[in-house]
Structure 1
Amino acid sequence: MPPDAARRSDRSRLAVLTAALELVEELGYAKLTVEAVAARAGVGKQTIYRWWPTKGTLLFDAFVELRAAGRDVRPRGELGDDLKLELREAIAELVERRFDQVCRMLVHEARTDLVTLLLTPRRVVLEQRLAEAGRAGEIRSDVDVPTAAELLLGPVYQRWLLRTGPLTGAFSDTVVDLTLRALRA
């Protein structure tokens, strides 16, 4: 029986996405080449160009597709602890070389639409948790939830983008504590 072409394509696609993330972490965006990705993935360059017109689109797809698979839903705890955990995870993601390389490349290319797509899942989780807190009376009922989520994430993303100081858990915990003072009933 001949090999299933669809299965082979899925296997090749996953190999290319994985190779792209590994190589951007090892080499950085500037030194990453489609030739290197093809060699590591065991596919031809033409296969990559058939699916992705640029290394930027390849990295974007790799990051979105492979990162999305690892996101867990966890039980809820105390509001401050949940928010601190989420911001600490945001920081861990931002300082991860592959994320940093992909996002900085997208920012450099003025692809804020793609940066927004990469950052949206984190904001959505915060909005959901804050909405639950509003229904439970943990924060004021008049809180604008999307704005409150941006109030939490904004300082973290600004510090990452502008490199104005270290991205640490202590920093993000302070952001949560200050924000909750403003949001609590």
Structure 2
Amino acid sequence: MMQIVIIGVSGCGKTTVGQTLAKKLNLPFRDADEFHSTTNKEKMSRGQALTDEDRIPWLLAIHQYMQNLESENKDGVVTCSGLKKMYRQILLEGVETKDSHCQSISKKCLNKKSVLFVLLHGKQETLLKRLECRKDHFMPASLLPSQLATLEFPDETEHFITIDVDNTVEEMVSEIIKTLETS
């Protein structure tokens, strides 16, 4: 059983890669934007970056979705910016915590090895061009620098891979599938 969480800044291709991967693997897909409150979407559309306090209920909602899949023994693909290590911990543990490890398996704590974080990352110029081409999205290109400044790259304590967004969608999806087959 595997939960695949596609993470990265806005414009990196999380939704496109996530949808393509889910379709190829015949898995359910959910986009993180579906979990945002109207208030969060309005704030971002005004060019205001979300605070940690704004993000926590959103992250908990995504965690709950993942928890539901795990409790039904189902795999799934979900997107989430997951920019900070703390955010990824909330996705795994379901609570805001400073502890980097689940001390025990509780109802809320997902199996860390069954969650693969896939960081889509690329050059700021590439990401900016993608954001500027978007139509009808609440996240403006003006927030990209704050997202890049917030990004904390995953480390050896996390189950993750990093994929360059300069690759094609098919190349990125193939790389994710190869990782899944070998893990």
Class of the TM-score when normalised by the shorter of the 2 chains? under 0.3
Select the structure with the greater relative contact order (CA < 8 A; seq sep ≥ 6).
2
> Which structure dedicates a bigger proportion of its chain to strand?
2
Superposition TM-score, scaled by structure 2 size: 0.27
Larger Rg over CA atoms: 1
Superposition TM-score, scaled by structure 1 size: 0.27
> Which structure dedicates a bigger proportion of its chain to helix?
1
